[in-house]
Amino acid sequence: MEYICYCDKVTEEDIVRAIGQGARTIRDIQRMTGAMTHCDCANKNPKGT
């Protein structure tokens, strides 16, 4: 398992599930999964961005 959003611990599976539940925009994904909400990517994301 790999996080897509490390800061909020959101996986690809979480995002696919949100799409299955009706998410159609990035804003929908953010609202439904919490991804991209507590951004500290330089420290928490091993990709550094």
Q: Which residues bind ligand FES (CB under 6 A)?
A: 5-8, 35-36, 39, 41, 44-45
User: In the complex with ligand FES, which residue's Cβ is closer, 21 or 49?
Assistant: 49
Least spacing, CB of residue 22 vs ligand FES, in Å: 22
Adjacent-strand bridge partners of 5: 10
Measured CA to CA, the distance from residue 48 to residue 31 in angstroms comes to: 23
Closest contact distance (angstroms) between CB of 29 and ligand FES is: 11
Q: With beta carbons less than 8 A apart as the criterion, state whether 41 and 7 touch.
A: yes
Tell the smallest beta-carbon distance from residue 26 to ligand FES (Å): 12
Structure tokens at 5: 């959003």
